[in-house]
Structure 1
Amino acid sequence: MTPAGDGARSEPAAVEVPTAEVLSGVDLAEYAAASGLALPDGVGRALAAGDVVDAAPDPYAPGRWTVRAGSRVGAVNVAVPGVREPFTVRVSPKVPIARLFFLLGYSLDPAGGWRDGEVDVTGHRDVVPALAHAVERQIDRALRHGLLQGYRAVQESSLVVRGRIREAEQIRRRFGAMLPVEVAYDEFTTDIAENRVLRTAVERLLRLPGVPRGVRRGLLHQRARLADVTPVVRGQRMPGWQPTRLNARYRHALRLAEVLLGGGSVEHAPGGLRIDGFLFDMNQLFEDFVTVALREALKGAGRVARLQDCHHLDEASAIRMRPDFVLYGPDGIPCAVADAKYKAEKRGGYPDADLYQMLAYCTALGLPEGHLVYAKGNASHAAHRVRHAGILIHQHALDLDQGPAGLLADIAQVARRMADG
C-alpha cells in the first residue's frame, strides 16, 4: 500500500472522455492522481464547494473538471436541480476493507475490537457496501434474542392517572380542570436509547448510495424488528447510553452504528443541492488507532495516557497545541509524546514540518525525545538529534498491509522505545 500523500497536488492525468459524454458517477482512489472528467456544471460546482473531493474547472476545456480524492473514503450522492439521477462519487481506500474495519474496531474497543473475519466484509470492495453489511450483521446478532427493554421517563397528558401528577403543569396548562391530567411515570418499553440508535442507523443506511440489494433486504428485516422504536430525526441529539451487563450483546452494533451516525455522515442541502452519503476520514482513523493502541501498550506502572491533551507553547499561554498522545508518569509529569501522521514519505524523506512540530512539543513539555508515527515509509525507524537542543526525534513507520498481529507488534515496538526514552 502507498498511504496518503503529503498534501501537494499532483498533475492531472488526462482521461479521454468525449466532450458530449457526461458521467453519472465516478470511482476514485484515496490520494490518487487527479483526473479530468466531464461533469454536469451543477455537480462540478457542488464538489468544488464541498469537502468530499478536490474539484476545479478546467480552464482550457469547458465542461471538464479536475477531480482528486483526499483522505476521505466512502460514497456520496450529489442531487442537482434539473438533473434526474443523482451523481455518485465513490472513493476507495488503499488499505484492504477488512484492515480498515480492524483499525476502526480496535479504536472503538481495544479489548473486544474486531479482528479480521469477525466483521464479515467478504465480497465487498467498497466502503459503503461493507459498512452496510457489517452494521446489518451486527444488529442481527444484537437482536437475535429479542429486543432489549428498559425504563423510559415519560411526561404526557392522560385521562388516567399514572405515576405522579405534575401539579405545576396541571395548573399552568389546565387552569383547574380535572381532565386530562399531566402525569409523569417510568414506562417499561423497547423504545429505549439503545434500540433508537440501532433504528436510526438502519434508516440512515437505507438512504445511502451503493447498498447492495441483499444487504438492503436484511436492513428492511431489521427495521421491521424495530418497528415499535422511534428513530431519531435529523436535528435531534442522539440518545445517550451507558455500557452495562444488560446491553453487552448490543455493544458492537451500537458502536458501529454511532460511527455511521457520527461525523462521517454527509447529509445536507445547501441551496438547491442535496449531498447524502458516508465517508471515513483515513487521517482520523489512523490517528485514533495509533493513539489507542499506544495507550493500551503503555498501560500500567502508574502511567496515564491522554489523547489530544491541550498544552501551551509559550509562557503567556497564548499559543495552544494538542499533541495526539502524551504519556504521564506517576508524578503527573509528561514522560513521552507522540503524533500520528497518515502520509507518505517524500522522495527526500518525511516532511520537515513534522519534525519542527515535534520539536515544539518536546520543548514545551520538557522532554528529551519525541515520536512521529507514519502509515508507511522506506525504513521502519529513523531518528534525528536536534543541534544545540539534544532532543531526539524518532520517526516510526507502520505497514498497514500486514495483518492485525503484525500491526500490534509494530505498535508494541514503538511503545517500548517510548518507555525506554
Structure 2
Amino acid sequence: MTGIELVEHAPHTTHDLPAAIGRALVASRIVDAAPDPYRLGGWRLRAGSKVGAVVMRVPGEEPLTLRITPKVPIARLFFLLGYALNPRIHREGAVEVAAHTELVPFLAQTYERAQERALRQGVLQGYRHTEEASSVLRGRLREADQVRRHHGRLFPLEVAYDEYTTDIPENRLLRAATERLLSLPRVPIGVRRALQHQRARLVDAEPLVRGTALPRWQPSRLNLRYQPALGLAETVLRSESPEHLPGDVTIDGFLLDMNKLFEDFVCVALREALTPYGGHCALQARGVHLDTDGTMRMRPDLLRYGDDGRPQAVADAKYKAQKPDGFPDADLYQMLAYCTALGLSEGHLIYARGGALHASHQVRNAGIAIHQHVLDLEGQPAELLKTVRDLARLMAKGTGSDSL
C-alpha cells in the first residue's frame, strides 16, 4: 500500500502517483492537488487545515494511505477537542501521550479507554418505542393503522410497545464508532483487539447505515457514564471523510478540520469564562443581519447578550488569518460589519499563534475598535484557559485594547 505523509499547512511536495489517484485527490478536496508541470507523473500536494488519515481506493491501482499530521502537539489537539465536547467532563491523562505522534492511533486509544469506562458497569439498557406488524398482540393495538392497512383482516396486528433493550441510540453510536475505527489504518494491535472485544458486547445494537443521520440521544443521569465516549463517538462518525467520489473511487478514514476545532474550542471556552459576568452567550448566533431588510444574514461565532437582551460583545475565532487576493484584511472587514450591524463599539478576532499578532485597530469615522488576540495552542492547558479567562474579562469590561 502506497503511503504519503504531509504536515498541516506545510509547503507543497511532489509525489509520483497514478493519474486516477491524482484526479481522485483533486475531487476529494482533502488536500490541494495538481499535476506537477516539471515532472512526468508527479503531483504537487499540499495539506490545508484537515488532519488525520484516509485510505483511497481506485480500481486497478494500489490503495493510497494519506496521513496528515497537525502542527500542534497531538495531546493539545485532544485537549481542544475534549474541552469543546464537554468542558465539565473532559479529563487529561487517560492515554499515554508520549506513545503517539499520529492522530489516528491516539484517537483510537482515547476512544477505547472512554468506551471501556462506559461499559465497565455493563451495557446500558433503555426503553425503545417500536411500532410494527406482529402475529401476536403486544403492547397496544394501533386501531387506525390496522383498519387502513389490513381492511378488516385480523392478522397481522399493528401494535405499538416499549421494549427494554440494549438496542438504544447510545449503543448504536458506540458500535458504529468502534467499527469505523477498526476500519482505519495505523490502529495499534492492542487497541484493535480491545475494540473488537467491546464491539462484541454491543452486538445487539442495530448497525448504522452510512450516510444517514446519527441517532439522537439525550444526556441524563442514567447515561452519565456513557457521555464522554458518546462525544468522541459522534466526532468519529462526523469526521470529514468523503466515502464515495465520481466513478469507483472510495475513501475511508478520519479527518479533523482544525479550523472548526479551534472555533469550537474558543467559543465553548469563552462561553464558560463569561458566565460569571452575567448575561448569556449565543454560539453561531442567529437572527443577525447586515441590512435593514434582513436579507444579508451574518453568523458571528460568539455573541454575548446582557441581562437586558441587548448585544454586549462579539467575537470570531480564526485558526489562520484570511488573506485572499484583493482582500488581504478580510477578517477585519467581517468584524467591522458585525460591529456596525450590532451597534457595538468593539469587536474581537481570536487567532491561533501564527495566524496574527496582538493588535488593535481604530476604524476611521466609525468609532469602532477591532482587537486581534492570539492563543498559543502549544502552551499548557491551564495557561491556555487562563488566557481565555483574561480575554473574557476584557470583553466583559469593554477594554479589549489591554494586552493579554
The TM-score range, normalised by the shorter chain, is over 0.9
CA–CA distance in structure 1, aligned partners of residues 294 and 95 of structure 2: 45
1:288 aligns with 264
Aligned-pair CA distance for 1:295: 0.7
Q: Deviations over 1:88-118 (max 9, x none)?
A: 1100001111111110111111122233x13
Whether the 8 Å CA contact 1:266–1:279 is kept in 2: the answer is no
The equivalent residue for 1:340 is: 317
Unaligned regions of 5+ residues in structure 2, if any?
399-404
1:252-284 alpha-carbon deviations (Å, 9 max, x no partner): 000100011114343224311111111000000
SS at match of 2:179: helix
Moved more, 33-42 or 356-365: 356-365
Equivalent position to 1:252, from 223, 228, 233: 228
Instruction: Check whether the contact 1:120–1:134 (CA below 8 A) recurs between aligned residues.
Output: no
The counterpart of 2:296, out of the listed 298, 308, 319, is 319
Call closer, same or farther: CA 1:140–1:284 in 2, change over 3 Å. Answer: same
Structure 1 letter corresponding to 2:359: A
Could you tell me how far 1:379 is from its partner in structure 2? 8.5
Residues 212, 320 of structure 1: alpha-carbon distance in 2 compared, 3 angstrom cutoff: same
Q: 1:322 to 1:179 in 2, by over 3 A?
A: closer
Note the 1:16-415 alignment, pairs <5 A: 24-83=2-61, 85-115=62-92, 117-310=93-286, 311-343=288-320, 352-377=329-354, 381-415=358-392
C-alpha separation between the residues in 2 aligned to 1:94 and 1:200?
Answer: 29
Q: How many Å apart are 1:175 and its aligned residue?
A: 4.1
CA contact (8 A) 1:101 1:114 kept: no
What CA deviation, in whole Å up to 9, does each residue of 1:46-100 have, x standing for no partner? 00111210000012322001000000000111101101x3101100001111111
Give the secondary structure class of the aligned counterpart of 2:118. Answer: helix
SS at match of 2:379: coil
Identity level (%) = 61
- Closer, same or farther: CA 376–307 of 1 in aligned 2, 3 Å: same
Deviation for aligned residue 1:121: 4.1
Displacement of 1:125 in angstroms is: 1.3
Does the CA contact (< 8 Å) of 2:94 and 2:113 recur in 1?
no
1:17-58 Cα distance to aligned partner (Å, 9 max, x none): xxxxxx812000000010011111111000011121000001
Q: Does the aligned pair in 2 maintain the 1:151–1:186 contact within 8 Å?
A: yes
Deviations 1:351-398 (A, max 9, x none): 522222211211111111111111015997321212222211111111
Amino acid of the residue matched to residue 43 of structure 2? W
Give deviations 1:290-330, integer Å, cap 9, x for gaps. 11111111114441111111311122323222111111111
CA distance in 2, matches of 1:122, 1:323: 37
* Equivalent-residue separation in structure 2 for 1:190 and 1:119 (angstroms): 28
- Secondary structure at the residue paired with 1:46? helix
SS at match of 2:281: strand
One-letter identity of the residue aligned with 1:271? G
Pick which of 72-81 and 376-385 moved more.
376-385
Bigger Cα displacement from structure 2, 23-32 vs 206-215: 206-215
Q: Partners in 2 of 1:361 and 1:343 — Cα distance?
A: 19
**In the aligned structure 2, how far is the partner of 1:390 from the partner of 1:411?**
26
* Change over 3 Å in CA distance of 1:378–1:45 after alignment to 2: closer
d(CA) in 2 for partners of 1:183, 1:315: 53
Q: Distance in 2 between matches of 1:136 and 1:217?
A: 10
For residues 151-210 of structure 1, give each alpha carbon's deviation from its aligned partner in whole angstroms, at most 9, with x where no partner exists: 111223333221112223333444433333332211111111111110111111111222
CA contact (8 A) 1:345 1:376 kept: no
For 1:258 and 1:203, locate their aligned partners in 2 and report how far apart those are by CA, in whole Å: 13
SS at match of 2:55: strand
Aligned length: 394
Which amino acid in structure 1 is aligned with residue 80 of structure 2? L
The 1:301/1:418 distance shift into structure 2, 3 A limit, reads closer
Greater shift, 186-195 or 354-363, is seen at 354-363
What amino acid is aligned across from residue 262 of structure 1 in structure 2? R
Going from structure 1 to structure 2, the CA distance change for 1:345 and 1:321 (only over 3 Å counts) comes to closer
SS of residue in 1 equivalent to 2:124:
coil
SS at match of 1:197: helix
State the TM-score, normalized to the length of structure 1: 0.89
* CA-atom RMSD in angstroms: 2.0
The whole-number CA distance in structure 2 between the counterparts of 1:378 and 1:186 is 53
The ranges of structure 1 where at least 4 consecutive aligned residues each deviate by more than 6 angstroms after the TM superposition are: none
